[in-house]
A and B are shown apart, each in its own frame.
Chain A
Amino acid sequence: MMMYFKFFKYLYFILFLFTSCEKVITLPIENNDSQVIIEANITDQPGPYFVKLSKSISINQPNIYPIVSNGSIIIADNKGVKDTLKHTTGGIYKTNRIRGVYGNTYSLEVKVDGKIYTAQTTMPMKVNLDSLRINSFPVNGENRYSIIPVYQDPVGLGNSYRFIQKINDTLDGIYNIFNDNLNNGKINQRPLNNGTEKISVKLFDSISVEMQCISPAAHLYFYSLSQQSGAGPGGGTAPSNPPNNIIGGALGIFSAHTSQTKVIKILNK
């Protein structure tokens, strides 16, 4: 469906090729209620894992996010392991002994300035990324390329995936968020988005794709982010903070996911 919206944007573009115009503007800025941001990940790779605490800033400030170094963080699993994280540097906290295991449920407790934020997540079973395939299709006489991650979706319903694509080591910035609401139990045939106006997959590019099996809560969070587009009559649904799994009012996400990366070079078939 992402593809679909992109296509619409493209149609608008050709429809108004000779007239449509963009310009940089300024808007009156409202006060922002600075909030605690929690970015906590546990993966199936060997630890340590990291939790990053920061604070949100106003839209007109430079992108230098205040770090939170005085927080206290505990991650525990449902097998009785309890891990108190240590602040390293720049608001990043490190685990000591907790391990990412498929099917384990992890709980997070973060204390910042007397406020407590909690979250819980379960690491999904691993679905193997078997390979990457190149999908090529001609558009206006020019070949375009996209990547199809090949994996076998399990029979049961409720599998969610996130794909992080790097084009020649540069993040493309697109949220490729799938689930098995479509094609449950089948080998995936959906391609990843082939890029943005700034960066897209081209011939001879080296593409790395990280596949993450994510929880339904993480799917909701990232899918919501993927749906946010500009505001106005030309925009989509009204944007809001994506629904997350953190209780207590912090933004961000606590995700326990698998991680597997494959690389492919785009060559002519």
Chain B
Amino acid sequence: MNRKFIFLLFIGVLGITHQIKAQEITTVNGTVKDRLTGESIIGAVIKIDQLANVVVTSNEYGFYAISLPKGKYDLRISFVGYEEKRIPILLNAPLITNIFLESKNQLAEVVVSTKRKDDNLTKAQIGTETLNMQSISKVPVIFGEKDVLKTIQLLPGVKSAGEGNSGFYVRGGAADQNLILLDEAPVYNASHLLGFFSTFNSDAIKDATLIKGNGPAQYGGRLSSVLDVKMKDGNNKNYTVNGGLGLISSRLSIEGPIQEDKSSFILSGRRTYADVFLKASEKFKDNILYFYDLNAKANYKIDDKNRIYFSGYFGQDELGLGSSFRINWGNKTGTIRWNRIVNNKLFLNTSFIYSDYSYNVGLKNGETNFNVNSNIKDVNLKQDYTYYLNPKNTIRFGFNSILHTITPSVFSGTVNNNMNKVGRNGLENAVYFNNNFKANQQLTFDYGLRISAYSIMGGDQYNIYNNNAITQSILLQKNEFGKTYMNAEPRFTSNYRINDLSSVKIAYARNVQHLHLLSNATAASPSDQWIGNSYNIKPELADQTSIGYARNFKNNTYELGAELYYKSMQNQLDYKDGTNINTIADVESSLLYGVGRAYGFEFLVKKKIGLFSGWISYTLSKTERKIDGINEGNWYNAKQDRTHDVSIVTILELNSKWTVSGVFVYSTGNAVTFPTGKYALGEQTIYQYANRNANRMPDYNRLDLSATYENKNKKKNAGSWNFSLYNVYGRENAYQISFQDDPSDNSKTQIIQTALFRWVPSITYNFKF
């Protein structure tokens, strides 16, 4: 099908008419960039002085286009952290105007920023937050390593998977229900070192956007959220070197032009060296414990209309014990993107994406040696069109086609699977259409439809189970197609600006997920198993409705947001007690199915501008599951159900050199299952359990402080020091609670609480030249 046809089809289907008025319309377009580095600016806001209701934002590549009647206009361009710019234009014929913005260096930036001062009031998006990487460095984090995944956990509706952990839950969803994208490539395990670091090296990252379930139609594939992380393009004017030296890890990145203004690159690496300390100790010299990762990106401007981007990520974790035990896992992603300005209204991006996540567990002791390998590979083709129809309508449409190959737990060595497990293929396709429609100055709509399909593919035998007994077996030959699941995912968001200071929003979205994670651990663990749809496993569905209210105070200095959401989930998966998901011949024989529901209230108040900035976030929520075969089929709390969740973040610029910041978090403990009773069997104490997750871990609370010294007057060769203390008052937050016979008195049961850390100090030196 040719593009025009698809386009006309979409336009036709949704009944948008392109009215050409008596006045002749023409278009101005271009790219918004940072003047010093040439880095494209995502989400810059372009307004026109003469036409109050025209607001356009630059897309992921900094591109914008506005169609207007011929005439004289003044463009006003703004973006947080940059000086506002006014550009007069004379629009007689199609015009290309590239915009270069100058960054403001002195002013405090807000960590979580909407693009423009009152942007929160005009945009249709709901439940969306963008993190600016340059400014998150001021928020204290564990080990002094700024980390996008840990900072988003301080936002309403986002919960941490555990102490110091980069795993997160959004609005009651499970950890695998977040779509984590790095330059469009899905990252299947976004954690390093048992979750204490995320795979995102902040030096290589431009920004990250989190959409909590009501995303536009170009996103799909996961139920709860999209975290869209974008790498920097690289400075195309000058060479710069950035780096950081910390107690646990160090990082270094180099960026610069390949050909000035035409092409640039960035190369960024990171490695931990806790293993070096371990080697120094006689007791732990055989322990292996490190990770490294590498981000690389280059872009090349072919001509004024075409630009090509290459980006890649490679990361690996190595844990082990001498030669006897070894666990390693890693992600590899690669993206090739081609931006094309088809004409002055139509922007096209074509992406070819590869993603590979694999893990290995190797055991070698004495004569026993074996290796377990699991792997998930994606090859992905995507075309995304943005059509700037007129100042009121911006249309996005496109398709996405992914071939998944999922290979679970293949044993080799002296311990083997009985049947050779083979990789299963699945083909996931989607087409989508989305329109952003500004009806008038008050009312904005963003609506769309995504149609996703997942086809089971051949090369393996698929068993159909009824009550966990096989009723039918289907052998699909290689490249033969089995069942196809097709789902429509309508999305709708609307914003109504009540007055200059406030707006209300309403949204509905259906999300569909075709890949599922079976996990026997809370933190992302190499033993997790991904599995695609099959004859038994149906796509997971979520319907989320949310309403929001936003209000700004004191000339947009303060921003308040409140949202309510209700989400219902279908075809949720779990497995029966006593299932070993890694060794069982066919895990589908032990699966359980059910539904989920999550609802809550989120509140966020931010101070965005000034020497003192920060935010208070509060979430009141409930998250439950109901799965046949668990808790006698009754509703029970999901483990991540925490009633109250509070985060307070404050950043204070003391003077031109020192910035101090603090984070306080409080949350209700996780829902857990404690034993209610006990009995003896074969001389051993066995615990008796009642309802699933009916108990609570103790409340969690913690205060972190950090101070950053940076001489901001020096632009070049600038160094900065960051001192931070995690858990200032040394609270022993419960990480695990276990029950055992009291060692000093066998007739009693002892309850042991384990806390991971009390104080964790860190010092990081960051440099730039």
Min Cβ gap A149→B in Å is 12
Instruction: Please tell me if B690 contacts chain A, counting CB pairs below 8 Å.
Output: yes
Q: Is A233 in contact with B162, judged by CB distance below 8 angstroms?
A: yes
Q: How far is the CA of A33 from the CA of B364 in the complex (A)?
A: 46
Residues of A with C-beta under 8 A to B286: 138-141
Quick one: which of B66-117 are within 8 Å of A by CB?
Answer: none
Q: Is A59 in contact with B520, judged by CB distance below 8 angstroms?
A: no
Q: Is B418 in contact with A39, judged by CB distance below 8 angstroms?
A: no
Q: Is A30 in contact with B690, judged by CB distance below 8 angstroms?
A: yes
Interface band, chain A: 35 or more
Min Cβ gap A84→B in Å is 23
Residues of B with C-beta under 8 A to A232: 670, 672, 697, 734-737
Instruction: Please tell me if B760 contacts chain A, counting CB pairs below 8 Å.
Output: yes
Residues of B with C-beta under 8 A to A60: 749
Instruction: Please tell me if B282 contacts chain A, counting CB pairs below 8 Å.
Output: yes
Min Cβ gap B666→A in Å is 16
Q: How far is the CA of A146 from the CA of B367 in the complex (A)?
A: 11
Q: How far is the CA of A32 from the CA of B691 in the complex (A)?
A: 11
Q: How far is the CA of A137 from the CA of B286 in the complex (A)?
A: 12
Instruction: Please tell me if B324 contacts chain A, counting CB pairs below 8 Å.
Output: yes
Whether A235 contacts B690 in the complex (CB less than 8 A), given A171-B683, A224-B577, A243-B577, comes out as no
Residue among A15, A22, A232, A253 facing the most chain B CB atoms (10 A cut-off): A232
Min Cβ gap A110→B in Å is 15
Encoded as 1 (CB less than 8 Å from any A CB) or 0, chain B from 315 to 329 comes to 000010110110100
Whether A140 contacts B283 in the complex (CB less than 8 A), given A55-B679, A135-B367, comes out as yes
Q: Is B670 in contact with A238, judged by CB distance below 8 angstroms?
A: no
Interface hit among B257-265, B521-529, B646-654: B521-529
Instruction: Please tell me if A92 contacts chain B, counting CB pairs below 8 Å.
Output: no
Instruction: Please tell me if A26 contacts chain B, counting CB pairs below 8 Å.
Output: yes
Quick one: which of A1-51 are within 8 Å of B by CB?
Answer: 1, 3-4, 7-8, 10-12, 14-16, 19-27, 29-35, 37, 39
Q: How far is the CA of A84 from the CA of B31 in the complex (A)?
A: 89
Instruction: Please tell me if B287 contacts chain A, counting CB pairs below 8 Å.
Output: yes
Q: How far is the CA of A138 from the CA of B759 in the complex (A)?
A: 33
Instruction: Please tell me if B415 contacts chain A, counting CB pairs below 8 Å.
Output: yes
Encoded as 1 (CB less than 8 Å from any B CB) or 0, chain A from 110 to 139 comes to 000000000000000000000000011111
Residues of A with C-beta under 8 A to B747: 62-64
Number of CB contacts from chain A to chain B under 8 A: 276
Residues of B with C-beta under 8 A to A252: 679, 681
Residue among B365, B414, B630, B748 facing the most chain A CB atoms (10 A cut-off): B365
Instruction: Please tell me if B366 contacts chain A, counting CB pairs below 8 Å.
Output: yes
Min Cβ gap A99→B in Å is 22
Residues of B with C-beta under 8 A to A12: 194, 756
Q: Is B162 in contact with A234, judged by CB distance below 8 angstroms?
A: yes
Min Cβ gap B727→A in Å is 9
Q: Is A234 in contact with B735, judged by CB distance below 8 angstroms?
A: yes
Interface hit among A73-81, A175-183, A200-208, A260-268: A175-183
Instruction: Please tell me if A229 contacts chain B, counting CB pairs below 8 Å.
Output: yes
Q: Is A173 in contact with B692, judged by CB distance below 8 angstroms?
A: no
Whether A139 contacts B324 in the complex (CB less than 8 A), given A15-B194, A63-B741, A239-B675, comes out as yes
Whether A141 contacts B285 in the complex (CB less than 8 A), given A135-B366, A236-B520, comes out as yes
Q: How far is the CA of A129 from the CA of B448 in the complex (A)?
A: 66
Q: Is B681 in contact with A233, judged by CB distance below 8 angstroms?
A: no
Q: Is B367 in contact with A241, judged by CB distance below 8 angstroms?
A: no
B319 in complex: contacting residue of A11, A233, A234, CB < 8 Å: A11
Q: Is A56 in contact with B677, judged by CB distance below 8 angstroms?
A: yes
Residues of B with C-beta under 8 A to A235: 522, 672, 736-738
Q: Is B361 in contact with A181, judged by CB distance below 8 angstroms?
A: no
Whether A157 contacts B757 in the complex (CB less than 8 A), given A31-B676, A171-B683, comes out as no
Residues of B with C-beta under 8 A to A189: 367-368, 414-415
Encoded as 1 (CB less than 8 Å from any A CB) or 0, chain B from 386 to 419 comes to 0000000000000000000000000100111110
Instruction: Please tell me if B746 contacts chain A, counting CB pairs below 8 Å.
Output: yes
Q: Is A56 in contact with B679, judged by CB distance below 8 angstroms?
A: yes
Q: Is A223 in contact with B365, judged by CB distance below 8 angstroms?
A: no
Whether A24 contacts B758 in the complex (CB less than 8 A), given A141-B286, A233-B162, A239-B675, comes out as no
Instruction: Please tell me if A107 contacts chain B, counting CB pairs below 8 Å.
Output: no
Q: Is A37 in contact with B368, judged by CB distance below 8 angstroms?
A: no
Q: Is B527 in contact with A233, judged by CB distance below 8 angstroms?
A: no
B754 in complex: contacting residue of A20, A139, A146, A243, CB < 8 Å: A20
Q: Is B680 in contact with A63, judged by CB distance below 8 angstroms?
A: yes
Q: Is B679 in contact with A37, judged by CB distance below 8 angstroms?
A: yes
Q: How far is the CA of A115 from the CA of B274 in the complex (A)?
A: 60
Q: How far is the CA of A229 from the CA of B737 in the complex (A)?
A: 9
Residues of B with C-beta under 8 A to A237: 520, 577
Instruction: Please tell me if B686 contacts chain A, counting CB pairs below 8 Å.
Output: yes
A135 in complex: contacting residue of B285, B365, B694, CB < 8 Å: B365
Residues of A with C-beta under 8 A to B365: 135, 137, 144, 146, 191
Whether A234 contacts B580 in the complex (CB less than 8 A), given A59-B678, A139-B321, comes out as no
Min Cβ gap A27→B in Å is 6
Residues of A with C-beta under 8 A to B578: 220-221, 223-224, 227, 242-243
Q: Is A171 in contact with B684, judged by CB distance below 8 angstroms?
A: yes
Whether A238 contacts B580 in the complex (CB less than 8 A), given A63-B685, A181-B418, comes out as no
Residues of A with C-beta under 8 A to B14: none
Among residues of B, the one whose C-beta sits closest to the C-beta of A16 is B756
Whether A233 contacts B367 in the complex (CB less than 8 A), given A14-B284, A20-B755, A182-B583, comes out as no
Instruction: Please tell me if B422 contacts chain A, counting CB pairs below 8 Å.
Output: no
What are 22 pairs between A and B in contact, CB < 8 Å?
A: A1-B580, A12-B194, A14-B284, A20-B755, A20-B757, A26-B751, A34-B677, A56-B679, A60-B749, A63-B685, A63-B749, A139-B324, A140-B282, A140-B287, A173-B684, A182-B417, A182-B583, A186-B416, A189-B414, A230-B738, A239-B687, A241-B688
Given A11-B194, A181-B584, A223-B580: 9 more A-B contacts, CB < 8 Å: A1-B582, A15-B289, A27-B751, A30-B695, A63-B680, A140-B284, A140-B285, A233-B161, A241-B688
User: A residues bordering B, Cβ < 8 Å?
Assistant: 1, 3-4, 7-8, 10-12, 14-16, 19-27, 29-35, 37, 39, 54-60, 62-65, 135-141, 144, 146, 148, 157, 164, 171, 173, 180-184, 186, 189-191, 198, 220-221, 223-225, 227-243, 251-253
Q: Which 8 A-B pairs have the closest CB atoms?
A: A230-B738, A233-B162, A32-B677, A224-B578, A234-B736, A135-B366, A137-B365, A231-B672
